[in-house]
Chain A
Amino acid sequence: MARAIVNVPARAKRGEIVEVKTLAQHPMETGFRRTQTGELIPRDIIRRFTCTYNGTEVYRVDLHPAMSANPLIAFSTIATETGTLAFQWAGDNGYSVTETASIRVE
């Protein structure tokens, strides 16, 4: 069910700044909406997004209910060495998704 898409260039020059785009599939229920009978819908969001490059954390985001459904996070990182970028989304109700992408640095 839970899915995520990441977009990382397959190859890059050493020291080049590369764009990373990520998209996680999640409704991001704010906890402020009510059903037609007036009951509050409990909050269900992604709390934290982390990106690690060969084990080193390069980017981390704390998300709040004001992030849209299916949160898109795009940022940049320096292509230092050939290896993998690991992405992790963690949230309410035990939500946890990981995704990896490999990059070849020349």
Chain B
Amino acid sequence: MTTRREFLVLAATSLALSEAARAQLDPNLAANRKAAFQEALRRIVGDTQVRRGRVKLQLPPLIDNGNSVPLSVAVESPMTEADHVRAIHVLTEKNPLPDVASVRLGPRAGRATLSTRVRLADTQSVTAIAQMSDGSFWSDSAEVVVTLSACLEEGLI
């Protein structure tokens, strides 16, 4: 049985602890993650312009558990020697690291697709970028709502 005194001491320490935890979180977290996302994007596409279309990114709009989210990407392409998809990249806006997966493929793949399961730290937008054999980049984004975040500790914003 917890006495009133014990309860008060416990409550006070847990409050102090959560204050300490908050103090450790970087106040510029949101800005830093945005910068990290922009940098990852630049690393992939350089100065080339990314156009919307040809890529189809499928994600459930509402996610109960961010630890395992089914994700699939399909890119429209004839996949011939002359015209195929060279790479597919998946990026997130608010995960601790923006990169999720980078695929290298060629005409031997037959279809430019990727199906996998990913972790999402927060309600955010996910982007898929495809690089074609002619050097152009195409993309698609999906907004997702995550109720239980993966990597809770760092996911607080």
**Which positions in A face B, CB cutoff 8 Å?**
17-18, 30, 32-34, 53, 56, 58-69, 71-78, 80
Contact = CB atoms under 8 A, between A and B. Distances in A.
Contact of A63 (B95, B101, B110, B154): B101
Contact of B103 (A17, A32, A59): A59
A68 B154 contact: no
A66 B113 contact: no
Nearest to A28: B119
Contacts of B154: 32
A56 to B, nearest CB: 7
B110 A64 contact: no
Contact of B116 (A62, A67, A69): A67
Q: Is the interface of A mostly helix, strand, loop or mixed?
A: strand
A19 B95 CA distance: 30
Contacts of A74: 113-116
A80 B92 CA distance: 36
A80 B119 contact: no
B147 interface: no
Interface string B117-148: 11110000000000000000000000000000
A69 B114 CA distance: 17
Contacts of B111: 17, 76
B104 interface: yes
B81 interface: no
B116 A59 contact: no
B109 A76 contact: yes
